[in-house]
Amino acid sequence: MAPSVSARSSQNFACLASDGRKNPTPGFRVDCPTGREDGIKSKTGDAWIAGKRIDDDIGSLWRIHDKLYDLTNFIAKHPGGRFWLETTRGTDITEAFESAHVNPAVAKMLPKFYVREATNKRNSPYTFHEDGFYKTLQRKVWPILKKIGTGPNLKIRLLMDSYVAIFLALLVTASLYHSYLAACGAGVVLWMICALSHNFFHQADNFRMYYFDLSLMASAEWRITHGLSHHLFTNTLYDFEISVLEPAMRFLPDPHKHIMNKYVSPVACHLVLLFAFFVNGFKRIAAIIMGTHKLVWANALPLVECALMMLVSGSVQTGFSLWMAMVFSSSFCFSWIGVVAAHHHPEIYHAYDTFRSDPDWGLCQLDAVRDKVEVTGSLFLTSISFGDHTLHHLFPTVDASKLPHLYPVFLETCKEFNVNFSFLPAKQLVCGMYTQLCSNKPNPEPPRFPRDQPLLPEVIRNMMEEDKDTKYQKEK
């Protein structure tokens, strides 16, 4: 039987700030996520969601805000697929519900499944007040999405499928000619596949989300570790993408960060990124053997690739070594782009930094994300480098091809709430990632954007001008 939240209070010391502060992220009812400090056992999606069930402490129901619902009879009817509701049973899904459902009609369905009021306080500190930033933005965004839709357009579908076709062509070429250059090229394209297919596993079940499984990673697990953890609790102790890299890479500015983390990690981290895909694969195999993870057909895709390369190359040894070269190159490219993409810079919020006084979930997302000015406006560049990342975090189920349409109302809402939203040059985000790895000084003030003229891509400035002209014409 799992220990209760109160019984675990003495077990939380490993997560607490080294300078004696009790809670690195004020507001969470449970200081340290259950299982976070359990070593290798904690570094799976199944372990993370199991810990969340204990921390949320609501039995077998689903919690949204302060009400408990029984969605059992709705699982098979859920438009997004069974996975999301089956996986989140017994947890507080407030953040997931709000960010995934922009359509106000969805909330009106909830009374049909109402069971009772929750008897305990939410573990999460985030708020969704109707007059707050996020709900205001949500109301402004809905008329736009109602018109243009939330799903992928033809261009992004063709782009996704073309990446896979190029990958397979390079895979066969590498095997036929025993070319390590072609194998590494296939790895580079596989990074692009993983980056863009991540857009698809946020959405309702679809076949393109399984392109992600061509790597040694799994779309089903990433729906938990990325979609339900990282996206909703960004850069807190509840962010799996922070904890999974520890102790090799410690992004949190712990005042007593070990000297190895400060000075060796910024160099040694490249080995971690190089082996990241293999570590993911080995963890999954171990979990399947131990019976803690269910084997699904998509888990076999990397093995099919390896077997194909052995068959076409005519040699088990050559095919395997070519496959290894492909995996190493894709692992490094995807992982490095991932850690420098949007979340790690001294100006960005991390647990231990001073938490904002207004814990509106949308504003907290702005604190923990920054966008690269160079990529916005190009679907190709945003698709391979996690561009338009702020909007992606605010509306994760909206396809990447539709996010640019939201910039005018997003910036309008930012202005309304005195947020001087600004982009960063990619170089600053790259350098900032390494600086953050060394950081052991929590920011004494909550994150904020520059007070002077914000840095905005030209394409967004043009969109804002067009939006002004449109409103002016309507007023006339």
**pLDDT for residue 15:** 53
**pLDDT for residue 4:** 44
Of the candidates 392, 385, 384, 381, the one whose C-alpha atom is nearest the C-alpha of residue 459 is: 381
Question: SS3 for 114?
Answer: strand
The residue type of 76 is A
256 pLDDT above the threshold of 70:
yes
290-326 pLDDT, tens digit each: 887 888 899 999 999 999 999 999 999 999 999 999 9
**pLDDT for residue 2:** 42
Mean pLDDT over 237-259 rounds to: 92
**pLDDT for residue 448:** 87
430-448 pLDDT, tens digit each: 999 999 999 999 999 999 8
For 21-128, CATH gives: 3.10.120.10
24-52 pLDDT, tens digit each: 777 898 888 998 888 887 889 999 999 99
Provide, rounded to the nearest whole percent, the portion of the chain with pLDDT above 90: 79
* Cα 10 off chain centre by: 30
19 pLDDT above the threshold of 80:
no
Among 27-41, 214-228, 245-259, the minimum mean pLDDT is found in 27-41
CA dist 390 → 121, 216, 364, 395 (Å): 29, 27, 11, 9
Mean pLDDT over 152-164 rounds to: 98
Exposure string of 379-411, with b = 16+ CB inside 10 Å and e = fewer, is beebbbbbbbbbbbbbbbbbbbbbbbbbbbbbb
454 pLDDT above the threshold of 60:
yes
- CA Rg, the chain, in Å? 22
Render 370-404 in DSSP notation, one character per residue: --BTTTTT-HHHHHHHT-SHHHHHHSTTS-TTTGG
Q: What angle do CA 391, 75, 289 make, to 5 degrees?
A: 90
Mean pLDDT over 215-220 rounds to: 95
Mean pLDDT over 328-336 rounds to: 98
> Which residues are CB-neighbours of 102 under 8 A, at least 6 positions away?
138, 141, 142, 145, 150, 395, 398
Domain boundaries, the chain: 21-128, 129-476
Mean pLDDT over 381-393 rounds to: 96
Q: Which helix (H) or strand (E) holds 63?
A: strand 62-64
* Structure token pair of residue 458: 């030209």
Mean pLDDT over 190-214 rounds to: 97
**pLDDT for residue 302:** 96
**pLDDT for residue 290:** 84
18 pLDDT above the threshold of 90:
no
Mean pLDDT over 152-165 rounds to: 98
Average pLDDT, the chain: 91
pTM check: above 0.85: yes
Mean pLDDT over 339-347 rounds to: 94
The residue type of 404 is P
Task: Give the length of the chain.
Answer: 476
**pLDDT for residue 115:** 98
Question: SS3 for 247?
Answer: coil
Residue pair 38/45 in contact by the 8 Å Cβ criterion: no
> Which residues are CB-neighbours of 322 under 8 A, at least 6 positions away?
174, 175, 178, 179, 180, 183, 309, 313
Residue with token string 């000297």: 259
Distance CA 288, CA 359 (A): 39
**pLDDT for residue 11:** 39
Distance CA 61, CA 365 (A): 27
**pLDDT for residue 57:** 94
Provide, rounded to the nearest whole percent, the portion of the chain with pLDDT above 70: 93
Distance CA 344, CA 342 (A): 6
Among 122-131, 278-287, 369-378, 404-413, the minimum mean pLDDT is found in 278-287
1 pLDDT above the threshold of 80:
no
